[in-house]
Structure formats: structure tokens, C-alpha cells
């Protein structure tokens, strides 16, 4: 999902992360990179234009060019604008005051509509504990009714259909029957066509009149990018709907539809479908999606783990040292022992923002066994050496290698790694400030 944009943003952030200051030219260049990435991801050009304008305005408004940590500011602004682009309020479902709540789904054939009917039914039943029934009126594709029945069979969800009637009659009768039964939520699967045509729109209008749904959702295939936006727009001018269910996001590397729809049609994406299984379905969370696009990783999980493993007092002292760039090998050793408490290194780093494919990290060996050797090497140094690694000359290196059962090459590697880590930690400590509410990262911060 959105791998294309994620890798583009990662490249961009990597380029500007190390900069102490960002000039007007840097900002122009960053905006140009973002523009190309978004256009290549099939985001609507008008949306791209607006997005860039907003970022520029905000960047200027926040005095980014004078700011001491411009990188964090840019990430923060881009993140906020992405959330806005995705429709900041996100997915929700509202139930009618009196039962039943009637929900109507519509969409073109192949969009994933039938699968979504089953998914939504299971979702509402399990998440909200309501009784859910389905009316299947897609008689033009006879297999659709059987498909729904098969998908919901194990979830105790009743399905009504009648192959000898027309979709409007089936819908009306189905709603009547389930209302009588006291069903709390009734979902209607309407008939799709391969293309938008008048007959389909008329039929949908008539179904809508007959059943008076509380909510109407349009199902769109996310993989079709701008085409999905055009379809959303055509439906919008004929049949009023409340929100969108975007499907096949698991196969959509570019994300053009997700990023264009809200700004273009002003309809929220309520749900997303991310696979063929009935459970691959959820409410849409713009903030999580933006985080994913920006490659922010699972920050909250990371924080939670780090809070458990890191001693707050020590972390505070360390943060002070880090801000003065005074990190020494004693601190390094302590951090390595802290990391080892958190689990495997690769797992820990995979949770870090933008660490997925970071060039810097590729240079650092993430082998867990390596940590044991690093521990041994640092433990074989004198206190003075740990505090001031610059004094470690050739003969000292030999002594340390002997004492730790390693080699001079390994000692050299560690010293190099230490320098790299210092750089990385400095960047991370700055990065973290962009997230209000995120209280601390290991190595850098306490509440």
C-alpha cells in the first residue's frame, strides 16, 4: 500500500534531514520533488497544486527558513496536509435513532462491491454487536447472490434475494421483511454494470426512493486511480451518496485515488478494503494512512516499548548530553544494553520512523550477536577511553581487541559505528520534536 509514495518521501526526507538550515531553494526543490512524486502516484493535478500551495504557505507562516530544526517542521507540515488531503475526519458510521438502519451500497462491477457488502455486514455485527441482514438485489450477475451467501455463511447473517424480481422490488421487499423481523441494520447490495449508464443510475435512484436508506456508500476500486475519481464524480451528479468505500488498497502501490477523492469530490472515504478475505476491511483513518505514506513507522508501539525499557532519569541525562553532542562510549554501551532489553534489533528499528530503508541504517550492522561483541569491546576499554574515544591509538586498540577476544578490525568498526550512531541519534532527537503527544524516544527524551 502506497509503497511508491513512501519511498519517494523517504528519499526526500533523507536529503533534507541532515541540513541545519533549509534555504528557499531547498524548499523549492523539496516541493518540486513532492510534486513529481504525487503526479507519478496518479494524484489529481489540481489536488497536487493545492497541496503544494498549502505546504508553501504553512512553511512560510512558521518561519521555517529561520527555524533551527527545519526538517521536523517540514515533516510536520507535510503530515498535516496529507491528513487534510485524505479528509481529516476519517471513516465513521452512524446508526438511525430507530431500527433498522438501512445502508445502501452501489458501484461498478468488479469494484469489489459484493465482497464489501459481506465485509461491512461482518464488520458492523462484530464491531457494534448489531444484528445485520443483507438484501442482495444484483440480479444481473446471478453469482453475486451466491457469493454473498458464501462469504457470510459462518457469521450468522441472513441474506434475502429473489431471482424472479427486479432490483427495486427485491430491495423494497427485503427491507420490509427484515424490518418486520426486527433486524437492526439492513445492507442492500445494488446491481452494478460494467460502465456507468442511465439505466443503472435510474435504477439506483428508484431503489433509493423505495427504501429511503440512512446512508449510501459508493464502492470504488482504488487501483484505478484517477478513473475512480471520475466514477465518483459521475455518480455524484446522479445519485447523492454519503461516503466512499475504497477497495483493493493492498494492491495499490500509488494511492492516487485515496489522495485525490476528498479534495475533488468532497466525499469522505469511510471504509477501506485491503484484501480478498472478509476480515480485510476497516474504517478509514486518515492520520494512520498519512503516517504510513510518510514512512513514520509504528511510532506508538515503539514508544510504548521504549518506555518500558529505558530508565527515565538516565534518558534525561542522555538527552542533555546528546543535545550538546557529548555522547560517549559509556552512554553508547548503556543504550546498547537498553536496546537488547527491547528485543531483536531489526524489529526495534523497523518500528522507527523512516527507518525502513534508510541509507544510514544500512551502513550499521543490525546483527544481534554483534551487540554482544560490541558490549565486550567497550567493556575492555578504560573509563578514560570510553569517555574520550579520540585517545584510542593503535596500541590501545590492540589491547582492547585482546581483552575482548575480538580483532583490531572489529574495534575500528565499532569506533566508526559509534560515530555513525551519534549522527543518527542527533537526527532522531530532532525528528521526535515534530510529534506533539509523542513523549520520548529512547536515547533522547523523557516526559
- Footprint of ligand GDP on this chain (CB under 6 A)? 107, 109-115, 144, 192, 247-248, 250-251, 273-276, 280
- 215-221 and 243-247 as β-strands: parallel, antiparallel, unpaired? parallel
Q: CA-to-CA distance for 412 and 415, rounded, in angstroms?
A: 5
Q: Which residue has the cell 454473498?
A: 148
- The CB-of-257 to ligand GDP minimum distance in angstroms stands at 13
- The CB-of-112 to ligand GDP minimum distance in angstroms stands at 3
Kind plus residue range of the DSSP H or E element containing 189 = strand 185-189
Kind plus residue range of the DSSP H or E element containing 338 = helix 329-342
- Evaluate the omega torsion of the peptide bond into residue 100 and state whether it is cis, within 30 degrees of 0: yes
Q: Residue 220 or 428: which CB sits closer to ligand GDP?
A: 220
Q: Residue 273 or 427: which CB sits closer to ligand GDP?
A: 273
Ordered alpha helix ranges (H), 18-88 = 24-40, 45-61, 70-85
Of the candidates 51, 414, 103, the residue with the CA atom closest to the CA atom of residue 245? 103
Q: Is residue 198 helix, strand or coil? A: helix
Q: Residue 218 or 378: which CB sits closer to ligand GDP?
A: 218
- The CB-of-288 to ligand GDP minimum distance in angstroms stands at 17
Q: Residue 108 or 132: which CB sits closer to ligand GDP?
A: 108
- The CB-of-194 to ligand GDP minimum distance in angstroms stands at 9
Q: Which residue has the cell 575480538?
A: 406
Q: Residue 245 or 401: which CB sits closer to ligand GDP?
A: 245
Contact 248, 112 (CB under 8 A): yes
Spatial CB neighbours of 293, under 8 Å, sequence gap ≥ 6: 2, 5, 6, 9, 82, 255
- The CB-of-69 to ligand GDP minimum distance in angstroms stands at 39
- The CB-of-110 to ligand GDP minimum distance in angstroms stands at 5
Burial degree of 158 (CB within 10 A; 0-12, 13-18, 19+): middle
Spatial CB neighbours of 220, under 8 Å, sequence gap ≥ 6: 107, 111, 228, 231, 232, 244, 245, 246, 247, 257, 261
Q: Residue 30 or 244: which CB sits closer to ligand GDP?
A: 244
- The CB-of-84 to ligand GDP minimum distance in angstroms stands at 25
Q: Residue 204 or 354: which CB sits closer to ligand GDP?
A: 204
- The CB-of-119 to ligand GDP minimum distance in angstroms stands at 8
- The CB-of-117 to ligand GDP minimum distance in angstroms stands at 8
Q: Residue 275 or 356: which CB sits closer to ligand GDP?
A: 275
Q: Is residue 186 helix, strand or coil? A: strand
Query: Which string of DSSP letters, residue by residue, matches 236-283?
Result: HHHS--SEEEEE-GGG-SS-HHHHHHHHHH---EEEEE-SSSTT-EEE
Q: Residue 4 or 281: which CB sits closer to ligand GDP?
A: 281
Q: Residue 231 or 318: which CB sits closer to ligand GDP?
A: 231
- The CB-of-220 to ligand GDP minimum distance in angstroms stands at 10
The residues pairing with 367 across neighbouring beta strands, listed in sequence order, are: none
Amino acid at each position: 500500500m502506497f509503497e511508491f509514495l513512501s519511498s519517494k518521501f523517504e528519499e526526500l526526507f533523507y536529503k533534507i534531514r541532515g541540513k541545519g538550515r533549509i534555504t528557499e531553494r531547498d524548499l523549492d526543490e523539496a516541493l518540486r520533488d513532492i510534486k513529481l512524486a504525487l503526479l507519478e502516484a496518479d494524484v489529481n493535478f489540481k489536488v497536487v497544486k493545492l497541496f503544494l500551495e498549502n505546504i508553501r504557505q504553512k512553511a512560510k507562516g512558521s518561519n521555517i527558513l529561520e527555524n533551527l530544526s527545519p526538517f521536523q517542521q517540514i515533516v510536520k507540515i507535510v503530515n498535516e496536509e496529507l491528513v487534510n488531503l485524505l479528509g481529516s475526519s476519517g471513516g465513521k458510521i452512524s446508526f438511525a435513532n430507530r431500527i433498522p438502519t438501512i445502508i445502501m451500497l452501489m458501484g461498478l462491477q468488479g469494484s469489489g462491491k459484493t465482497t464489501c457488502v459481506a465485509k461491512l455486514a461482518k464488520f458492523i455485527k462484530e464491531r457494534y454487536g448489531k444484528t445485520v441482514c443483507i438484501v442482495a438485489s444484483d440480479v444481473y450477475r446471478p453469482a453475486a447472490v451466491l457469493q454473498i451467501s458464501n462469504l457470510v455463511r459462518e457469521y450468522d447473517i441472513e441474506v434475502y434475494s429473489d431471482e424472479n424480481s427486479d432490483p427495486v422490488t427485491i430491495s423494497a421487499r427485503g427491507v420490509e421483511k427484515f424490518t418486520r423481523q426486527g433486524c437492526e441494520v439492513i445492507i442492500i447490495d445494488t446491481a452494478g454494470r460494467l460502465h456507468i449508464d442511465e439505466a443503472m443510475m435510474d435504477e439506483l435512484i428508484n431503489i433509493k426512493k423505495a427504501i429511503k436508506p440512512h446512508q449510501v456508500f459508493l464502492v470504488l476500486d482504488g487501483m484505478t486511480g484517477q478513473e475512480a475519481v471520475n466514477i465518483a464524480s459521475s455518480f455524484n451528479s446522479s445519485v447523492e451518496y454519503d461516503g466512499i468505500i475504497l477497495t483493493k488498497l493492498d494492491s495499490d502501490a500509488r494511492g492516487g485515488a485515496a489522495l485525490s477523492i476528498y479534495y475533488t469530490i468532497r466525499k469522505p472515504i469511510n471504509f477501506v478494503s485491503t484484501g480478498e478475505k472478509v476480515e480485510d476491511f476497516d474504517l478509514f483513518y486518515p492520520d494512520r494512512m498519512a503516517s504510513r505514506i510518510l514512512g513514520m513507522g509504528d511510532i506508538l508501539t515503539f514508544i510504548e516499548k521504549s518506555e518500558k525499557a529505558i530508565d527515565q532519569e538516565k534518558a534525561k541525562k542522555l538527552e542533555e548530553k546528546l543535545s550538546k553532542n557529548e555522547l560517549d562510549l559509556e552512554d553508547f554501551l548503556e543504550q546498547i544494553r537498553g536496546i537488547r532489553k527491547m528485543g531483536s534489533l531489526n524489529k526495534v528499528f523497523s518500528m522507527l520512523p523512516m527507518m525502513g530503508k534508510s541509507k544510514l541504517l544500512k551502513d550499521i550492522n543490525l546483527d544481534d550477536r554483534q551487540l554482544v561483541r560490541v558490549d565486550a569491546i567497550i567493556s575492555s576499554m578504560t573509563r578514560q577511553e570510553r569517555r574520550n574515544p579520540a585517545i584510542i591509538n593503535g596500541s590501545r586498540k590492540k589491547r582492547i581487541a585482546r581483552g575482548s577476544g575480538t580483532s583490531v578490525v572489529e574495534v575500528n568498526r565499532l569506533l566508526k559505528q559509534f560515530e555513525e550512531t551519534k549522527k543518527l541519534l542527533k537526527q532522531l532527537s530532532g525528528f521526535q520534536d515534530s510529534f506533539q503527544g509523542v513523549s520520548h524516544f529512547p536515547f533522547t527524551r523523557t516526559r
